[in-house]
Amino acid sequence: MVRRGAVLVTGASRGIGAACARRFARAGYPVALNYNRSEEAALALAEELRTGGAWVELFQADVGDTGQVERMVDNVLDKFCQLDILVCNAGIARQQLFTDITDGDWRELFNINVDGTFRCCRAVLPHFIHRKAGRIITVSSMWGVTGGSCEVAYSATKAAIIGLTKALAKEVGPSGITVNCVAPGVIDTEMNGNLTPEDLELLREETPLERLGQPEDVAESVFFLAGEGASFLTGQVLSPNGGILI
């Protein structure tokens, strides 16, 4: 049996991150489950996965804080000894008119979405480089590819994540590390909780595959990029979006 190192999923208490944690746990990976505020949900997910036989450990940390990210990665390595995969999923969104965006709004979105991804990648890379192996999967959005009205700050962060992914893939490829990105379409999670049923129905109608995405759809793309079948892919953006963006 292949010995698997752990996967660290940031923002795994809910939504897409939780679906990724479930997918990796089902495949037998030890799972390091990061959460920030949703402790109850994270505890419940850990319990669920442990009941299914998985090795799961919880790590509370705000990816918006360098010290917390570095401590989290140290603790993950202490617990599991080996980390194979990093999924930079933690993120926040905000819908507002461009002219209403304050400096604080802009900085907060960048600090969590972009700087959080940067901090997590930087913290795991010495371990990956030492082993000459490792998979990083970043999480952008279709809005990072195409730009979303009333989501300029969010779109800018998600475009930055694509730039980070491509450049980092070139830098660490020679060290045997792949860096790829998923850019999901509209996924049915709490992040879209502010959309009305009518908005969601319109988005569903706009989608060639005629449904909204589920967190599991994204988890399958992430899982693919972490697997053997993706060993010659790096610096790529895979967009599970039902065809809403082609």
Instruction: Map residues 14-43 to x or -, x wherever contact with ligand NAP holds by CB under 6 A.
Output: xxxx----------------xxxxx-----
**Closest to ligand NAP by CB, 38 or 234:** 38
**Closest to ligand NAP by CB, 189 or 234:** 189
**Closest to ligand NAP by CB, 83 or 120:** 120
**Closest to ligand NAP by CB, 89 or 178:** 89
Q: Does 162 bind ligand NAP (CB under 6 A)?
A: no
Say if residues 145 and 238 touch (Cβ distance below 8 Å).
no
SS3 at position 244:
coil
Q: Does 91 bind ligand NAP (CB under 6 A)?
A: yes
User: Which residues, listed in sequence order, are joined to residue 238 by a DSSP beta bridge?
Assistant: 182
The residue count for binding ligand NAP (CB under 6 A) is 30
Stretch that binds ligand NAP, among 23-31, 51-59, 84-92, 231-239 (CB under 6 A): 84-92
Q: How far apart are CA 28 and CA 218, in angstroms?
A: 19
Edge-to-edge strands of the sheet including 31-35?
56-60, 31-35, 6-9, 83-88, 134-139, 177-182, 237-238
- Applying the rule CB under 6 A, the residues between 180 and 209 that interact with ligand NAP are 184, 186-187, 189-192
How far is Cα of residue 208 from the mean position of the Cα atoms in its chain?
A: 25
Q: How far apart are CA 13 and CA 61, in angstroms?
A: 12
Shortest distance (Å) from residue 51 CB to ligand NAP: 20
Q: How far apart are CA 226 and CA 68, in angstroms?
A: 25
Which position among 30, 64, 134, 242 is part of the footprint of ligand NAP (CB under 6 A)?
Answer: 64
Shortest distance (Å) from residue 174 CB to ligand NAP: 28
Say if residues 151 and 104 touch (Cβ distance below 8 Å).
no
Q: What is the largest CA-CA distance in the chain?
A: 56
Shortest distance (Å) from residue 201 CB to ligand NAP: 15
- Establish whether 154 is a catalytic residue: yes
Stretch that binds ligand NAP, among 23-31, 83-91, 118-126, 232-240 (CB under 6 A): 83-91
DSSP designation for 227: S
Say if residues 20 and 86 touch (Cβ distance below 8 Å).
no
Which position among 63, 109, 120, 160 is part of the footprint of ligand NAP (CB under 6 A)?
Answer: 63
**Closest to ligand NAP by CB, 81 or 190:** 190
- Give me 154's structure tokens: 């969010």
Catalytic residue numbers read 154
